[in-house]
Amino acid sequence: MEASEPRRRRPAIVAVDDEPAVLAAVARDLRRQFGERYRIVRATSGAEALDALKELVTRGEQVALLVADQRMPGMAGTEYLVEARKLVPDAKRVLLTAYADTEAAIQAINEVDLDYYLLKPWDPPEEQLYPVVEDLLTTWEAGAALESGGVRVIGHRFSRDSHDLRDFLARNRVPMRWLDVERDAEARELLTMTGVEKEGLPVALLEDGTVLEHPTVRELAERLGVSVAPTAEHYDLVIVGGGPAGLAAAVYGASEGLKTVLVEREAPGGQAGMSSRIENYLGFPSGLSGSDLARRAVDQARRLGAELLTIQDAVGLTAEGAGRLVELSGGSTLSANCVLVASGVSYRQLTVPGFERLTGKGIYYGAALTEARSCQDQHVVVIGAANSAGQAAVFFSRYAGRVTMLVRGENLEKSMSSYLIDQIAALENIEVHTSAQAVLAEGDGHLDTLTIRDVNGERREKVDAAFVFIGAAPRTEWLEGVVARDEHGFILAGLDAKAAGWPLKRDPFLLETSVPGVFVAGDVRSRSMKRVASAVGEGSMSVSLVHEYLAE
């Protein structure tokens, strides 16, 4: 390395334990496995570790992981992690604890947003320590990469086109930097350098130097290689929809030898992928984000051999003999023996004056997590009462000064899990208004005011952003006249499909639709549970039914 070239510092793992022998053992094990990629920083107390963190932050260095012993004099591990989170909020947090302290560790999951707790001693570390730490670091690295560079998008915060580009890049986990032309001097400097006028916004600056003025999502996807073409003329299984059900089917289909392709019109994860935190999914005691769940599933499906086509929408289905043809929005057609419809649902649009005009300009459907940091210290309204609304309210409370929930019903208990209700009640900056609804949205170019109606009448409130979660509309218009659906558009399966007109002598399989060889799973199925775990279960089960169908 030339003397003039600055040496890139490795991200830090900060370990703290008041027992020198234990601290030395922790540092030794971490250094042996992760020392080439990370710098191991040691501290013998919470106070000493906080001083080290302040110095790292001052120098502009990254901190990837905090490892803290629970039983330390002066400052317990959980107390230290509370303070450390204020300095390095994106670092992963691990608590070291003895078996007798597991209750405290479980409680810390909620109190300090703990990512994991490890029981001491671990032996061998290859089984008890390294897989856990590697998983946490991989998750941190994925988030750090998204924040560190890649595509630069310049635009107006309250521009629907700017929002669509940012949301697409974030949900497809493409590294991106967002530059608000109104707030960031760098944005204006880049526009001057590239010669782009404000009329050309939003603009995307790619890493190869390409400047795209006012690109569509599809144009940007094609330039980035996110949208790919199918590699085969015929598949065993075509999956329509990349939510939990579709991703589970892709994993199981590919792992069991089926030539599998998944088509997703927006981004892997579906509606669940927009969830800020899923806390009741089996096997993740500290919860995980929908984006993280989607990333893990996509990596798993691809590793096993499944193809994923994104920014493609299914627009038609035809049954020709033993073949099933899925027409795509790009003009191509996928041929398969079987089709699984796992296209999920979308949030219903509010038919309230002002909402359509201001959508993407302060009003958003779904969590729109890309907007969270822009809501710092602002007033955010969340409309809805299901788990997705509760998760969003908790997430936005970290940034917004005030979060107001508008609940149409009399309480949250009818539609929201109790763990979320408890979290919301414990957060001082969240207000829940029951029997309340928005009846008017106003603003000159972006949302400024909502008129809210409740049992006390109507009132106008200044609002900076509103996020809407009101019911689910199935994405099944493309199946009109082909597959039997219920009165709400959800797809009938099993005996329900038989009653709607079934052409064969045998009964349809449990998840089979009125068209033999076409199956359905997840939220788009009539009578489904509308839960992530049940969607994953149905997606997995559908592959077994596909095998039975192919064996006929």
Low-confidence ranges of the chain (pLDDT < 50): 1-7
DSSP code at position 453:
E
pLDDT at 429: 96
- Cis peptide bond N-terminal to 20, omega within 30: no
**CATH architecture, domain defined by 149-224:** 3-Layer(aba) Sandwich (3.40)
Which sequence spans correspond to the domains of the chain? 12-146, 149-224, 237-346+472-550, 355-468
Instruction: Measure the CA dihedral 214/478/169/299, to 10°.
Output: -150
> Topology of 12-146 in CATH?
Rossmann fold (3.40.50)
pLDDT at 148: 60
pLDDT at 5: 35
| DSSP string across 70-133 | S--SSS-HHHHHHHHHHH-TTSEEEEEE-GGGHHHHHHHHHHS---EEEESS-SSHHHHTHHHH
pLDDT at 6: 40
DSSP code at position 370:
G
pLDDT at 301: 96
pLDDT at 147: 63
- Cis peptide bond N-terminal to 124, omega within 30: yes
pLDDT at 162: 92
pLDDT at 400: 95
Q: Same fold for the domain at 12-146 and the one at 237-346+472-550?
A: no
- Cis peptide bond N-terminal to 202, omega within 30: yes
pLDDT at 146: 61
Beta bridge partners of residue 95, listed in sequence order: 68, 117
CA gap 202, 280 in Å, rounded? 38
| DSSP string across 491-521 | BP-THHHHHTT--SSSPPPTTB-SSTTEEE-
**CATH architecture, domain defined by 237-346+472-550:** 3-Layer(bba) Sandwich (3.50)
CA gap 197, 195 in Å, rounded? 6
> 355-468 belongs to which CATH class?
alpha beta
Answer for the pair 454, 438: CB distance below 8 angstroms, yes or no: no
Answer for the pair 128, 105: CB distance below 8 angstroms, yes or no: no
Average pLDDT of the chain is: 90
Single-letter code of the amino acid located at 426: A
pLDDT at 228: 73
CA gap 230, 307 in Å, rounded? 8
Beta bridge partners of residue 438, listed in sequence order: 452
